[in-house]
């Protein structure tokens, strides 16, 4: 799955968990939630990399997803 597709998927999944009365605010809230999720995954992958020598490409993929979320 490409970074842009993953970004959109995360936002769509999280829209249902945001409480709002208009579509725009729901999307913006979902974007913020998605960014928090991706940031936490990046932190976890960095910890794994430091402990077990994880390939950096996993972290780079998550950073691409984060950029796409920010651009949506």
Angle of helix 3-15 versus helix 23-52 axis, rounded to 10: 120
pLDDT by residue for the chain (72 residues), tens only, comes to: 799 999 999 998 888 777 766 676 778 889 999 999 999 999 999 988 888 877 889 899 999 999 999 998
Give the separation between CA 5 and CA 3, rounded to whole angstroms.
5
SS3 content of the chain, % helix, strand, coil (to 5): 80, 0, 20
What is the per-residue pLDDT for 27?
Answer: 85
Which pair of tokens denotes residue 67?
Answer: 């950029």
What is the per-residue pLDDT for 39?
Answer: 96
What is the per-residue pLDDT for 21?
Answer: 65
Residue 11 Cα to chain centre, angstroms = 8
pTM reported for the whole predicted model: 0.78
């Amino acid at each position: 799955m490409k970074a842009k597709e993953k970004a959109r998927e995360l936002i769509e999944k999280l829209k249902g968990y945001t409480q709002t009365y208009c579509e725009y605010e729901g999307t913006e809230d979902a974007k913020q939630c998605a960014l928090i999720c991706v940031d936490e995954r990046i932190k976890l992958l960095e910890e794994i990399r430091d402990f077990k020598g994880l390939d950096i490409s996993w972290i780079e993929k998550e950073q691409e997803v984060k950029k796409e979320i920010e651009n949506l």
